């Protein structure tokens, strides 16, 4: 984030611009736009995911999902997705254990965009290394999870 301008008009950081306002995230320390309560969007996302998914430890599959979603290139997009009624209900069900975070668990749910988005995110983390699933791509055809998520045609083991 480069909120200031130097004498030549070039974008500069807070310190170089002499901006007194603290624009650093109070959790991670990165200079980022504030999203909520002195937190950047990534830290707010992580906080929300931990509250909803409630992983018990680092081996809990929900912890891997928190890490994958928190690492998204655009955390604001994930936060927007989470505000949807179906996505929020899905994450709550995963957090309470009502739905298992597995292909079998997701297969029990009515098909829909939130379920398939979550499945794609989960598959791209290599958290389901021993399963291959064919997912519908955006054109209505089928593509392996990695192809759907990354745009390439590689298969996901």
The 10s digit of each residue's pLDDT in 93-105 is: 999 999 998 888 9
Three-class DSSP category at 137: coil
Q: What angle do CA 104, 58, 85 make, to 5 degrees?
A: 50
Q: CA 54 to CA 62: how far, in whole Å?
A: 7
Share of the chain above pLDDT 70, in %: 78
**DSSP letter for each residue of 9-26:** S-EE-HHHHT--S--B-T
Q: CA-based angle 151:88:96, to the nearest 5?
A: 110
Cα–Cα–Cα angle for 43, 97, 47, nearest 5°? 10
Count of C-beta atoms within a 10 Å radius of residue 61? 18
| Predicted confidence (pLDDT) per residue in 7-32, tens digit | 888 888 877 888 777 778 999 999 88
Q: Could you tell me the pTM of the whole model?
A: 0.71
Give the SS3 label for residue 8: coil
Residue whose C-alpha is closest to residue 13's, from 4, 21, 22: 4
Residues 6+ apart with CB under 8 A from 17: 3, 4, 5, 6
Q: Which tens digits make up the pLDDT trace of 86-138?
A: 999 999 999 999 999 888 899 999 889 999 888 887 776 655 544 444 444 44
């Amino acid at each position: 984030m480069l909120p200031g301008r130097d004498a030549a008009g070039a974008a500069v950081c807070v310190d170089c611009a002499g901006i007194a306002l603290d624009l650093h995230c109070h959790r991670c320390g990165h200079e980022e736009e504030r999203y909520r309560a002195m937190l950047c969007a990534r830290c707010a996302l992580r906080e929300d995911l931990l509250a909803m998914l409630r992983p018990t430890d680092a081996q809990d599959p929900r912890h891997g999902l928190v890490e994958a979603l928190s690492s998204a290139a655009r955390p604001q997009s994930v936060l927007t997705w989470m505000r949807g009624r179906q996505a929020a209900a899905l994450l709550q069900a995963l957090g309470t254990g009502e739905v298992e975070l597995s292909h079998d668990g997701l297969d029990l749910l009515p098909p829909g965009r939130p379920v398939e988005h979550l499945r794609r995110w989960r598959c791209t983390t290599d958290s389901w290394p021993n399963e291959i699933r064919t997912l519908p791509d955006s054109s209505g055809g089928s593509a392996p999870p990695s192809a759907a998520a990354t745009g390439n045609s590689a298969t996901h083991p």
